[in-house]
Amino acid sequence: MSFLRKFRKNSVQENISATTGKFPLSCQQVGKDLQSFLDGEETNVTAEDLSAHLEACKDCGLEADVYRKIKLAISQTAEPVDKGSLDRLQDFGRKLAESGDNE
């Protein structure tokens, strides 16, 4: 689970969505795919489901905004970001997302 959501419970109701007819994604599911989604990469969940969760869940929506701002700040730097450093950061983020809320 990401650092921004580490100390909170899932804020999305576990009711079937009236619009999609499916159970909404949990914060943990979103956490696993959020970075890939924001990077435009393929994810394990649909973009529609993930977007719906981000709109419904204040905490996950705020986390997505933070990631977007970080990505924008990095893209505006004068110096190119070292690919190895970026890969390590992305790997670290994925490991955090996959670790769950066990602490």
For residue 3, name the pLDDT band (cuts at 50, 70, 90): very low
CA distance 5 to 101: 9
Q: What is the pLDDT of residues 20-67, one digit of tens each?
A: 556 688 898 888 888 888 888 888 888 888 988 999 999 999 999 998
pLDDT at position 78: 65
Specify whether the CB–CB gap between 97 and 5 falls below 8 A. Answer: no
Instruction: Using only the alpha carbons of the chain, give its radius of gyration.
Output: 14
Specify whether the CB–CB gap between 25 and 45 falls below 8 A. Answer: yes
Going by C-alpha positions, the residue among 23, 95, 24, 91 that lies closest to residue 60 is 24
> What pTM did the predictor assign?
0.56
CA distance 79 to 23: 44
CA distance 46 to 74: 27
